[in-house]
Structure formats: C-alpha cells, structure tokens
Structure 1
Amino acid sequence: MGLDEIKRRVAAAEQAAGRAAGAVTLIAVSKVQPDARVTAVLDAGHRTFGENYVQEAQGKWPGWRDAYDGVSVHMIGPLQSNKAKPAVALFDAIHTLDRMSLARKLAQQVTEQGRSPQLFVQVNTGDEPQKAGILADELPGFLTSCRDLGLTPEGLMCIPPEGEDPVPHFRLLRRLAEENGLPKLSMGMSADFEAAIAEGATHIRVGSAIFGARDYG
C-alpha cells in the first residue's frame, strides 16, 4: 500500500471525523523491517517511527538520527523493567507503561538522565488475562501513583482483543482519557486506524501497510 496511500487515508479520516488536518500522528512501525525499507520512508520525509524491542532500536536509530533531522522514535512494545535505562535514553515516547514496577524504574531514570519521554499508560480494555495493561477500574489509582513518583503520563494506549469490534474499546479508552484529564490516545493499527481516528485517536500505529509484510526469518 505504501506511505503516500496511508497518509491520504489518514487525511481523509481526519476530514470525515471533522478533525483538524494533522491532528493525528502517524507512527510508522519499523520493527523487524529491512533497513532499505525504513530508509526509503525516511527519504520520503516521514519522521515518526515505532519499535517493539529496545535492543533492535539501539542498533539502528542512533545512526539514522545522525543522518536525518527531526526523527522521533516511539516504544510501542512490552518494556522490561531492566530496560528502563536505555529506553529513557533512546525513545521520545513510551506507549506501554503498564505496571508499577516499570513506573518506579522509569521515574528513577527520568531523574538520573534529566529527560522524560512522553508516557502513555497501556489499558487492558478487554480485561484479557494474558494481555498486559492496567484494568479500567484501576486506572485512576495507577495514574495517582505514577504522578506521586514524578511521572506525568500524557495519554492512554490500547490494543483491542483480536477478532472483536475495536470501536467499543476505542470509545472506552477515550472516555477513560477524558475522565482522567489525559489529552492523547494511542489506538488504531493497519486494519482499523480509520475507525480509531473517528473515535479520537491522536496517535496511530501502522506497520505492514506502509512497509510491506515483515519477514521474521
């Protein structure tokens, strides 16, 4: 499909939802993509990317940041607490704050490094036992605890249950964000980003529709 087509569809979805042009940040999910595909998207002028693995991101983004101005890299995969130090050093945003042990590690690193990525709290909107994320009814207390540590979450993130209509999950996330005074919503991927935009997404995460299918080798 490619970057240009996805950008066209994002713009059309913004317009259809009555939202301002550029209201939605397109995160190009570059995990496990060949370097040539990523540099092609960089050469096309896109600057916001998403990664799932700290070690993989460490291996490629410092060099690309030197070569391309204005690059922003977002952590969108599960983050191990023992990777908090390199995560705070590398990423401009972390979308997967999902437990207090991680919050404490991030707060320590924010203090030590003097820089703070944007933080999104991952919410388990489907109450799925196998999935990471804060349960909806536990969110206010979790946010209070994060703020007590000196963290300032700016938004929420969700991954709706596979095979379910994502719209009720997007609506729940938006309601939770509004109730808790959070302006940003990271929701929507390749298959459902237009619905997410209609429901208020500020950040969407699109990978294969931009880069092509991943080859995990």
Structure 2
Amino acid sequence: MPPAASTLYTYRFVSDALPPGAGSVLEVGCGAGALAALLQADGLAVRAIDSDAYAVEQARRAGVAAEVAQWPAELGASYDAVLFTRSLHHIHDLAGAVAEARRVLKPGGRVIIEDFRAEGGTARADAWFTALARDLHASGSLGQPVELDTAHDHELHSSDAIAGALCAFATVERADAAYYFRYLEPHLREPAAAAALLEQELATIASGAIEALGQRFVAFDG
C-alpha cells in the first residue's frame, strides 16, 4: 500500500529540513511508524519512540525498531535531528521536552516540528472546512460525516507556546502548513483523493481565503 498523502506531506517537509549530511534521527511520537519507515528507506538511522505501546507495536510491524518511552527521556545518544510530528502539543513538560531535544542534538543539528494551532483555527477557516466536509459527504466521497474534533481530555500547548519554548535556539523558522485535510483523509472512499484535498487546501491558504491550521518549525543554533 502506498504511503498516505498526509505521511508524504510530512516526509517531504522533514527531508527538506534535515541538516546537510544528516545520518541519525530521533522521532518523538512516532505513532504507527509511517514516517520513520520512509526515512529509514532513505538510509537514515532512525530511533523512534512513543508513549503508546500499541502504536509502538504497529511501528514494529512496519519494520521500525520503535520503543516505548515518555519524553523527555535519557536515551544515551545524540542525533542530527529530533522530530516532533504532531506530538509536541501533547507533552506536558513543554520546556523540558524542547531543552532535552536541544541537548541531544549533534553540532549543527536541528529540531524539526510539525504541529497545529491547538488554540483552534479561525472562524472562517473552520467554516470553510465544515462546508467542504458537508459537500464531500453529500457527493458520496466521504464514508461518514466528518466534523472538527476540538474536544481533548487534557490541555494542549498552543502554537505560540511552542514558538516561545524554542526561543533558546539561535534560529527558529516558522511556517504555515495545511492540516484540515488530515481530518478527512481517514474517511475518504478513495484514499488517493486526499492528495487533491491537500492541494486544494494549500491553494486556498495561498489565496488568503483561509488561515492555515498547521504550523511548522525548524530550530537550530548558529
């Protein structure tokens, strides 16, 4: 089965953000290991961790040597890049998570983050998503109605809080990213349609019609 459009979208960002000559990567919050598997296929040495034992088992089935660990964790190694792909907003000790990521970087290393505005999207962007999801369901493209799920059982870190936690780095690059399509992708009758939805969302963001829900950061010293 080919990688999901959402996985490829993240993979391209991470690949472009890696430091030149990178050979080792730590992924914090690897989930089912889809991204780690792609990076491994590129020849990178990937250490993948997740706090969820079931997710780690799925990652292992995907050929990733994942392990159960709660970040920050003492892993006894250093890396060319530390990745947080939609995981950092969940980690309770945000400052500690970022500080430990910086500590385990090799010289010239980078912390690479893909996340979203946990504080919520704008009203017009949310309305755009709601209308899109309704139209897709009415056309039969979605197997079930989809609504934005904004309920969480614990407090999440906002995108500005993540940006603030990165201020100890000499350089922090921040960029918008598509994110709404991720809510729709699992429910599409034709998975290949997710790539078109991604491109539609990116074009709508670029036109200024909606604000991006996704956020990306690359932090490094020097």
The TM-score with structure 2 as length reference comes to: 0.34
Q: In proportion to residue count, which structure has more helix?
A: 1
Point out the structure with the larger strand share.
2
TM-score by length of 1: 0.35
